[in-house]
Structure 1
Amino acid sequence: MPLLGQLPLDPRVAQACDEGTNIPTQEPDAAVTQAYKDIANKIKEYCDAQSQEAT
C-alpha cells in the first residue's frame, strides 16, 4: 500500500490516548482530525480500486 497521508504532530493525540478517548471526538476541528479523515477516505478509495482490479 502506498503512503496515503501523514499526521501532524499534535500532543493532543497522546493526551486523548492517555484518557482513553479519541482526538476526532475531542477536537473535531483540529488539523489532525482532518488528516485522519483524509487518510481514512484515501484508504477506502485505495481498497475500492484494488477490489475493482481484482474482479
Structure 2
Amino acid sequence: MRRLKCPGCGKLHLELPDFMAPKKHYEARLIEDVMAGRSDSCPADDSTIRRWKKEKYPPSLP
C-alpha cells in the first residue's frame, strides 16, 4: 500500500485497494453482501453485523 502525505494537514495516509474497507477486518465485498442480504454466512459475530447496520456501512461521503 502506498503512503501519501497530505499537503493540507501534513499527515500520512494509506491508499487502500478497492477490496478493503477502511478500519474494517473483513473485505468490503463481504460487508456489502451482508448488508444487502445477499450472504447468509459470514465469519463476523452477530454483534459486528449489528454494528455495521447501525453505522449504515458504507459511510456516506461528505
Specify which structure has the bigger relative contact order, considering alpha-carbon pairs within 8 angstroms and separated by 6 or more residues: 1
Q: Considering the TM-score relative to the shorter chain, is it more than 0.5? A: no
TM-score (norm 2): 0.22
TM-score (norm 1): 0.23
